C-alpha cells in the first residue's frame, strides 16, 4: 500500500478546525444549531468541528449516492440514508467532505430548502472551486484547492480510497488509481487435431 504524501498536516487541520469553530460560533451566537454531516467521509471532520463550536447543537447524518454517467456529467443523486432530521424552522449547518462539481451539494441544498429551515449554510472540509459545474459555494471551508493535485487522490482525516486511509490524522494524496482495463477477449479455436 502506498504511503500518502502529506498535503495538510495534523497541526494545520487542528488550527483550521479551531478557527472554523470560532467563526461558526460567532455567526450563530445565541441560537441552537443543527449540524448535518454526510456519511462517511466527513465523520472525522464533523466530530472535531462540533467540539470546536461553542454552542448548543444537535447532530444528524445523511448518506448520499451520486451516480454519474461516464464523461457526460449526467447521472442521478439520491439520499440513501437519513434519520428523521427536524429541518423546519431551524438553523442548519451542512457539512460536506469535498465540494468539487457542486452537483451533489446543489441536490442537497434543494432537498433541505424544501423542508423550510430558518437558515442553511455549508461548511466543507475541502473546496475545489476549479472543478465546479454548478454555481454553488460553501460558506466556510477548512481548505481550498484552487489547483487540485494532478493525478492524485485525497485521503486521510476521514477521506478514503476503497475504504483505505480514513484513519490518518492528516490529509494526504496518493497516485490516482488507473481505471481498470477492459478484459481482453480471447478466441479459442477448436482443436483441429481430432
Question: What amino acid positions are annotated as catalytic residues?
Answer: 100
Round to whole Å and give the CA distance between 121 and 117. 10
Round to whole Å and give the CA distance between 61 and 40. 9
Which alpha helices (DSSP H) does the chain contain, by range?
10-27, 43-52, 103-113
CB-CB contact of 97 with 159 (8 Å): yes
CB-CB contact of 139 with 121 (8 Å): yes
List CB contacts of 120: < 8 A, sequence separation 6 or more: 92, 94, 109, 112, 113
Please provide the DSSP assignment of 166-178 as one string: TT-SSEEEEEPPP
CB-CB contact of 30 with 55 (8 Å): no
What are the CA-CA distances from residue 113 to residues 27, 42, 85, 106, 108 (Å)? 20, 21, 13, 11, 8
Amino acid at each position: 500500500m502506498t504511503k500518502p504524501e502529506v498535503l495538510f498536516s495534523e497541526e494545520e487541520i487542528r488550527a483550521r478546525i479551531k478557527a472554523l469553530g470560532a467563526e461558526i460560533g460567532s455567526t450563530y451566537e445565541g441560537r441552537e444549531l443543527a449540524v448535518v454531516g454526510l456519511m462517511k467521509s466527513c465523520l472525522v471532520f464533523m466530530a472535531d468541528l462540533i467540539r470546536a463550536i461553542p454552542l448548543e447543537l444537535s447532530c444528524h447524518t445523511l448518506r448520499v449516492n451520486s451516480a454519474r454517467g461516464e464523461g457526460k456529467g449526467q447521472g442521478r443523486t439520491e439520499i440513501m440514508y437519513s434519520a428523521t432530521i427536524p429541518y423546519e424552522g431551524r438553523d442548519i449547518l451542512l457539512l460536506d467532505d469535498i465540494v468539487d462539481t457542486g452537483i451533489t451539494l446543489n441536490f442537497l441544498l434543494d432537498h433541505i430548502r424544501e423542508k423550510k429551515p430558518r437558515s442553511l449554510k455549508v461548511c466543507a472540509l475541502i473546496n475545489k472551486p476549479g472543478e465546479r459545474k454548478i454555481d454553488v459555494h460553501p460558506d466556510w471551508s477548512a481548505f481550498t484547492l484552487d489547483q487540485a493535485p494532478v493525478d492524485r487522490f485525497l485521503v486521510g482525516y476521514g477521506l478514503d480510497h476503497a475504504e483505505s486511509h480514513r484513519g490518518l490524522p492528516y490529509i494526504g494524496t496518493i497516485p490516482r488509481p488507473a481505471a481498470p482495463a477492459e478484459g481482453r477477449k480471447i478466441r479459442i479455436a477448436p482443436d483441429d487435431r481430432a
